[in-house]
Amino acid sequence: MAIPLQVRIQALGAQLLYALPRPARRLIAGKPIRLDGQELALDAQLLLRLQQLSGTELVGRSVRGSRTAIDEARHLVSGKPIQPVSGRELTIPAEHGDLPATLYTPEGLPEGSGLLVFYHGGGWVIGSRTSHENTARFLAKHAQVRVLSVEYRLAPEHPFPAATEDALTAFDYAHAKASELGAEPSRIAVGGDSAGGNLAAVVALRTTRRGGPAPAFQLLIYPAVDASVRRRSRELFGDGFFLTDEAMTWFMDHYVPDPDRRTDPLVSPLLAEDVSGLPPAYIATAGFDPLRDEGEAYAERLAAAGVRVALSRQSDLIHGYANFLGIGRRCTEATAEAAGALQVGLSRNAGH
């Protein structure tokens, strides 16, 4: 797909801006933002300033327009395609029709590797394999695993529980076809960012409660895990930090229109009666993120149930940082930590 001229110009402008000396970047970004005992990273603050100057929002009036915008935005923030990583298109059979997917493989990775089934973010409404391509490539390269990125059905055309069904189908496919994918069936993780982190958590919960096969590891990057409660972080960071309170409401109204269904553990895994026995998890939160507190509450819930969990708050970052790999260094550093956790989690001697 050709990159629109306006997007190419904006991308060039962003690259030039981030190449400026730090004092110049600070001047453009404004005074440091400090809130809740945290200071926002300059890279993140500069991105928010660019968003403010351009008048762009995460979601717009229409679903179609919002989907187009997030796919185009990758040219502004995600950077050039990460190499050497190959991508192979495939389809996952499902009851309602095949699910498109892409298998990313780092150069030189032997057969029998670990594999991550990756679910992209976007509030279950927007986002795609395209918008999250470099995130998947980054995790594949830096964790030295294969990554199966899945195109699950989106709301409002396909509201809850369609995405959860597709997420489970994709994991079961990866486990059944592991050898064909070049992976070891005992070393398959589920993971994703935001809504994708939600789907990964739901798959881990469902597969464990049914008695397996279940993932060996969960990679949950600023996951949405409780749609029933407004926590303090949503009040603190619900305006001006990329993911807004208004956008969260817009997403949930499309995904689960009936408020009474939002306490279902398949929407809000934090509310599950039993989380014991779940796979080990790495849970990352961002300090300036409305979802911060629910992600951390989920980590506490898992730990209390005896699940091995590593919680990492990136206190100076905003929601979405795993997609912002082409601007500055700070977001790349945080995402590299997640890749390292995945690599360790899927090492041959990791286990439960």
Residue from 128, 131, 149, 194 carrying the catalytic annotation: 194
CB 150 within 8 A of CB 117: yes
Known active-site residue 194: yes
CA 344 – CA 322 distance, rounded (Å): 19
Helix or strand or coil: residue 189?
strand
136/80 Cα distance (integer angstroms): 13
Please report which confidence band the pLDDT of residue 9 belongs to, taking 50, 70 and 90 as the band edges: confident
pLDDT of residue 349: 44
Query: Residue 147 has what DSSP assignment?
Result: E
The answer to whether 132 is a known catalytic residue is: no
Which one is catalytic: 264, 289, 293, 316? 289
Q: Which domains does the chain have, with CATH numbers?
A: 5-64 (no CATH), 82-348 (3.40.50.1820)
- Its pTM stands at 0.96
Angle (nearest 5°) at CA 140 between 136 and 144: 165
Cis before 156? omega within 30: yes
Q: Which long-range contacts (CB under 8 A, 24 or more apart) does 9-12 make?
A: 10/54, 10/76, 11/75, 11/76
Tell me whether residue 96 is one of the annotated catalytic residues.
no
Residues 81-105 have pLDDT tens digits of 999 999 999 999 999 899 999 999 9
* Catalytic one of 120, 142, 175, 319: 319
Give pLDDT tens digits for 209-227.
999 899 999 999 999 999 9
Type of residue found at 180: E
